[in-house]
Amino acid sequence: MFPVARITALEPNQLPPELRERAGVDSRAQLGSLAVWALQPRLASALLDLKLVLASLSLPPRLAELVRLRVAFHNQCRSCMALRSIDAIQDGLTEDLVCELRAPEESDDLDERERAALEYADKLSIAHHSIDDALFVRLREHFTEEELVELGAFIGFCIGFGRVAMSWDLVDDLPDGLRESGVVGPWDADGGVLRTA
């Protein structure tokens, strides 16, 4: 028996019209946690505004999606792990690359900039007190200070909102590999990933 969401998740046709149009998806699974945030439309709208600002900054879509998926793994947010950004796919994200997030330090397909961003995401997610000057020396080799602010904001967004979404257990519409108990990763979706704008 698979778990059931702990809080009501709305269907796209139950969203206020403006919110439904902004979300631009046609299934509850594609909505992800927005299906619950929509119970408070002003919060959902503000969340979309923040996501839009973060998406409009300078981080490449592939890098941002790799970071998002790695944080989703640490959060064990299964609905977050099931989603893939169309922009990231167009920027070179593949499911093979997602599978390499199991051990990013061993991947031949990640560049040094992506590895540094993933290390920062890992440490912010699970050991933020271990962040030291050496990590920032490495990050500065690949990111400007403005980009570091952006990367930090993006990771913080993913950690915070992902942990809330994880607590809601929004797994009803996910592929079986992401619904089973125990630790899973975005690489366990078995082709059942959902594309979202």
Domain ranges for the chain: 59-168+176-196
Structure confidence at residue 197 (pLDDT): 56
For residues 159 and 128, the answer to whether their CB atoms sit within 8 Å is: no
Mean pLDDT, residues 112-133: 97
Mean pLDDT, residues 82-110: 93
Mean pLDDT, residues 177-190: 78
Q: How many helices (H) and strands (E) does the chain have?
A: 11, 2
Structure confidence at residue 181 (pLDDT): 77
Predicted confidence (pLDDT) per residue in 138-165, tens digit: 999 999 999 999 999 999 999 999 999 9
For residues 165 and 32, the answer to whether their CB atoms sit within 8 Å is: yes
Number of neighbours of residue 31 by Cβ within 10 angstroms: 29
> By mean pLDDT, which of 12-16, 26-30, 134-138, 163-167 is the weakest?
26-30
C-alpha closest to that of 175 among 29, 37, 60, 45: 29
* Strongest mean pLDDT among 53-57, 104-108, 146-150, 189-193: 146-150
- Output the CATH code of domain 59-168+176-196: 1.20.1290.10
Q: Cα-flanking dihedrals φ and ψ of residue 175, to 5°?
A: -60, 150
Number of neighbours of residue 45 by Cβ within 10 angstroms: 16
